[in-house]
Amino acid sequence: MPRRTQVGIIGCGPAGLFLAHLLARAGIDSLILEARSRAAVEGTIRAGVLEHGVAALMQELGLAGRMLRQADRHAGITLQWRSQRLHLDLAALTGGKAVTVYAQHEVLKDLVAARLAAAPGSILFEAPARAVEGIEGDHPAILFETAEGGAGRLDCDHIVAADGFHGIGRGAIPASIRQEYGKTYPYGWLGVLVEAPRSWPELIYASQGDGFSLLSTRSPTVQRLYLQCDPADPVEAWDDARIWRELGSRLATDGWTLTQGKIFQKSVIPLRSFVCAPLRHGRLFLAGDAAHIVPPTGAKGLNLAVADVLVLSRALSRAIHRGDASGLDAYSDTALARVWQAQRFSAFMTRMLHRDPGETPFDTRLREAQLEQIALSPAAATALAENYVGLPFPAED
Ligand code: FAD
Ligand code: DHB
């Protein structure tokens, strides 16, 4: 049985789910096809920092109940190098803005539950999209596999590929018009979850000893820590003793000790920067990681996905309700302008805080001088803070 919806969305990550909610608010019907099970989507550990504007959007959409009860607002971050800590007062530097530390999979749980409550059947799990067709005409469709293993077809007016970096959407833009820009870094992140109380009241981004480390949090009893590693390292290369030894030295400062606890989750992720352009071909639109990847040092990946779909939802609404395609025509340029700012900031944070395997003592001193400039110059501190809490979303015209 073919199905029909106004906007067919591939992928139930932050991009797909925020889009479905934004479209519903605008009175537009959508259906999400997701390759994985609901449990897998809701259990995958990823990002944790919501920009000021993303947390505000969750409230605006009526999706912030649990976030407001459970998550912490962080009005500052700490930078550390050479065993010195610098408190960056985000709120003071940005006119009162802050970030919210709330795990991506908790955001997804809230958005999935709210979407299914409002529109039962509007997300099909275990239904991988296999191909899109007709995107250059007026009647596009998504061909997918049903949870029972049969062939499904979703006819729609517009298709949004919000299917992450390894999805099928990007490849449907002909190679002759698709441009891809990218860079892979010679280091990765080992991420761990630990049962322990908080060791410090805010996030610490540190660059010391063998490189980067990050102290983040999930709750008063669960902490999230990352450290720079060889991207080829299997997690088995990192036994608990080695993790604590490295974190201990990379976060060491006088009069403070990192509280240890049971490590119950470990993963290694590669670091890359990637942009695909344009974000549109006919009636197919790319959003989120399907179109671009940032290294996680700036905490921008999830936030950028939300900014894309905010712009796209307005454009779809204008096209569907008013027959005005100007927003759809402008989508790629409008979204990419903000994407390149996030790319610049993420690459800046990454280079400043990681130790390149081929780094010379000169390179190290240059990185430290960059960090010192943030301590010395209110202009440099303000630039970092403005980007970290999130640049404004593109204005609605
Ligand atoms: P995704 O979250 O990738 O969602 C895409 C969805 O599409 C997935 O559920 C996938 O199963 C589904 N899908 C794929 N192909 C198909 C198909 N053919 N049919 C149907 N469904 C399909 N960012 C940070 O800021 N900080 C971090 O610490 C951080 N850690 C990360 C760790 C990992 C391992 C990864 C991969 C990313 C991390 N990120 C981090 C980035 C951040 O999580 C992403 O930017 C964010 O998830 C992007 O959302 P998205 O909706 O665009 O894509
Ligand atoms: C977290 C992830 C990030 O990439 C980051 O920059 C800060 C915090 C986190 O998972 O908590």
Identify whether the C-beta of residue 245 lies closer than 8 Å to the C-beta of residue 213: no
The catalytic position among 14, 140, 295, 296 is 296
Residues 6+ apart with CB under 8 A from 364: 355
And the tokens for 154? 């979703």
- Closest atom of ligand 1 to 269 CA is 34
331 is catalytic: no
Best residue among 106, 224, 289, 293 to mutate for probing ligand 2's pocket (most ligand atoms within 8 Å of CB) is 224
> Cβ-count burial of 133 within 10 angstroms (0-12 exposed, 13-18 middle, 19+ buried)?
middle
Element (H, E) at 143: strand 141-145
296: annotated active-site residue: yes
Q: Would you write out the chain's pLDDT as a tens digit for each of its 397 residues? A: 669 999 999 999 999 999 999 999 999 999 999 999 999 999 999 989 999 999 999 999 999 999 999 999 999 999 999 999 999 999 999 999 999 999 999 999 999 999 999 999 999 999 999 999 999 999 999 999 999 999 999 999 999 999 999 999 999 999 999 999 999 999 999 999 999 999 999 999 999 999 999 999 999 999 999 999 999 999 999 999 999 999 999 999 999 999 999 999 999 999 999 999 999 999 999 999 999 999 999 999 999 999 999 999 999 999 999 999 999 999 999 999 999 999 999 999 999 999 999 999 999 999 999 999 999 999 999 999 999 999 999 998 7
**CB of 305 closer than 6 A to ligand 1?**
yes
Sign of CA dihedral 193, 196, 202, 207: negative
The reply to whether 205 belongs to the active site is yes
Catalytic residue among 205, 292, 295, 354: 205
The residue behind tokens 């989507």 is 41
- Ligand 1: distance of its center to the CA of 349 in Å? 21
In sequence order, the 6+-apart residues with CB closer than 8 A to the CB of 49 are 74, 99, 100, 101, 203, 216, 299, 302, 303
Ligand 2 center from residue 51 Cα (angstroms): 11
Domain positions in the chain are 3-48+103-178+278-357, 182-271
Proximal ligand: closest to the CA of 48: 2
Q: Which atom of ligand 2 is nearest to the CA of 349?
A: 6
Domains 3-48+103-178+278-357 and 182-271 equal at CATH topology level: no
Q: For residue 161, which of 52, 289, 69 has the smallest C-alpha distance?
A: 289
Q: In angstroms, how far is the first alpha carbon of the chain from the final one?
A: 40
* Superfamily of segment(s) 3-48+103-178+278-357: FAD/NAD(P)-binding domain (3.50.50.60)
Q: Are 227 and 212 in contact (CB under 8 A)?
A: yes
Ligand nearest to the CA of 294: 1
Residue 282 DSSP SS3: coil
Of all protein residues, the one whose alpha carbon is nearest to atom 47 of ligand 1 is: 302
**Token duo for residue 88:** 């960056």
Cis amide bond preceding 14, omega within 30: no
DSSP 74: E
What are residue 14's phi and psi, to 5 degrees?
Answer: -55, -40
Atom of ligand 2 nearest to the CA of 216: 11
Architecture of domain 182-271: 2-Layer Sandwich (3.30)
Phi then psi for 178, rounded to 5 degrees? -90, 125
236 φ, ψ to 5°? -65, -20
User: How far from chain centre, in Å, is Cα 108?
Assistant: 12
Ligand 1 within 6 A of CB of 289: yes
- Is the distance from the beta carbon of residue 296 to the nearest atom of ligand 1 less than 6 Å? yes
